[in-house]
Amino acid sequence: MEHYLSSVQKCCTLLKLFLHGSKEWGVTDLSRELQWSKGAVHKMLTTLESEGLIKQHPRTKLYSLGYTLLELGNKVKNDDDMVSFARPYLQQLADLTKESVCLCIRDQQDAIYVDKLDSPLPIRFIIDAYRRFPLYATSASRVILAYSPESLQQTVLEEPMTAFTNYSITEREQMSQRLANIREQGYEISSNMRNIGVTGIAAPIFHGDGSVHAAISLIGPSDRMEPHVDRWISMLLQLTQEMSRLQGFS
C-alpha cells in the first residue's frame, strides 16, 4: 500500500483549482470549494505565499498563482529531452505549412501540449499549451492513446467522454474503432471534433521499444487546411518517421 503525505496532497489539490477554475480565489470561495475550514485554507495560502507559489493581490486580497510556479514550469520545459529534440522538427513543419504546430505528450491518463509554434497568419488557431486534457480529446492525444497499452485504452474509454462539439465522439465503440483506424493508417485527421472550423492532423513519435508517448500535430482553419491535406499528411509522416528513427525505432 502506498503512503502519501496528506499535507502535500492538500497543497496540490488547492493549487490544481487554479488550473481549471478561476484565476483568482478568495479564502471563502476556496473554503467552500475544498470543504476545508477558513483557518485551514488561510494557513495553507500563507505557507504557499511564503514560498512564492501563491501571491495575493494587495487591493482585492484575492490569491493567484505565484511566479515560482512559472520558473518551475520553464525548468520542466527546458530540461525535457523530447521538447528540445522535437523543436527543430516543429520549426521545420511550421515554416513549410505556415500553420500552428505542437508537441503533445502523455502524462499518466492525460495529454499535455508541451511545446507549440503558432501560425504567423492573421486567421489562425491558437493552441492552448501547457494544460491537461483527456487522451480522447484531440487528434494528437488520440494518436498517443491509439498506440498506448490496451489496459490504458480500456481505462480511458470506460470513463464518460465529454462532447466538445456536436461532432465529438462520446461512444466507447466508436472511439475504439477510431483508434483502430489510427493504428491502421498511421496518423489521425479530424475536423470540428474539438473546435468547430478547425482541422488537426497528427502522427506518432515511436521510441526504440515501439512505445508512443508523444505526437506532433498540425492545426489550422479547416477551409485552409483541407486543400493541402494529402501534402501535409505526407510531410508530417516524413518528419515523425525520421524522429522515430533517431529515437531508435525501426
Give the list of residues 6+ apart from residue 103 with CB closer than 8 angstroms, or none: 82, 83, 86, 90, 113, 114, 115, 116, 214, 215, 216
Cell 468547430 sits at which residue? 196
End residue of a domain, out of 46, 71, 96: 71
Place of cell 512564492: 52
pLDDT of residue 68: 87
Residue 123 lies in a domain: yes
What are 179-218's pLDDT values in tens digits?
999 999 999 999 999 999 999 999 999 999 999 999 999 9
Looking at the chain, the whole-number percentage of residues with pLDDT higher than 90 is: 76
Q: Put residue 216 in one of left, alpha, beta given phi > 0 → left and psi -120 to 50 → alpha.
A: beta
User: Which uninterrupted H or E stretch holds 108?
Assistant: none
Domain hosting residue 16, numbered range: 6-71
Are 45 and 120 members of one domain? no
Tell whether 196 and 227 lie within a shared domain: yes
Say what the pLDDT of residue 5 is.
73
- More confident site: 70 or 215: 215
The reply to whether 33 falls in a domain is yes
Q: What is the mean pLDDT of residues 64-86?
A: 80
Residue 231 sits in a domain of what CATH number? 3.30.450.40
Strand partners, 189: 201
Please give the C-alpha separations between residue 7 and each of 44, 52, 60, 240, in angstroms, as whole numbers: 9, 18, 27, 42
| 236, burial (CB in 10 Å: exposed 0-12, middle 13-18, buried 19+) | buried
Q: Is residue 1 a part of any domain in this protein?
A: no
Q: Which residue has the higher pLDDT, 209 or 74?
A: 209
State whether 121 and 44 are in the same domain: no
Confidence band, pLDDT 50/70/90 cuts, at residue 16: confident
Question: Which CATH number does the domain housing residue 39 bear?
Answer: 1.10.10.10
The Cα 144–Cα 214 span in angstroms is 6
Residue 75 has pLDDT above 90, yes or no: no
The answer to the question of residue 200 being in a domain is yes
Does some domain include residue 85?
yes
Number of Cβ within a 10 Å radius of residue 83: 17
pLDDT of residue 146: 98
Number of domains in the chain: 2
pLDDT tens for each residue of 111-130? 999 999 999 999 998 888 78
Query: What percentage of residues in the chain have a pLDDT greater than 70?
Result: 96
Residue 80 in this model has a pLDDT that exceeds 70: no
pLDDT value for 2: 58
Q: 59 and 93: one domain?
A: no
Confidence of residue 22 (pLDDT cuts 50, 70, 90): confident
Same domain, 128 and 213: yes
Mean pLDDT of the chain: 92
Q: Are residues 237 and 123 in the same domain?
A: yes
Beta strands at 188-191 and 198-206: parallel, antiparallel or unpaired: antiparallel
- Same domain for 107 and 22, yes or no, is no
Q: Tell whether 90 and 149 lie within a shared domain.
A: yes
Any residues with CB less than 8 A from the CB of 211 and at least 6 apart, and which?
Answer: 147
Q: Is the pLDDT of residue 4 over 80?
A: no
124 and 65 co-located in one domain: no
Q: Which of 71, 99, 119 is the last residue of a domain?
A: 71
How would residue 1 be classed by pLDDT, with cut points 50, 70 and 90?
A: very low
> Given phi > 0 = left and psi -120 to 50 = alpha, else beta, which region is 61?
left
Do 52 and 166 lie in one domain? The reply is no
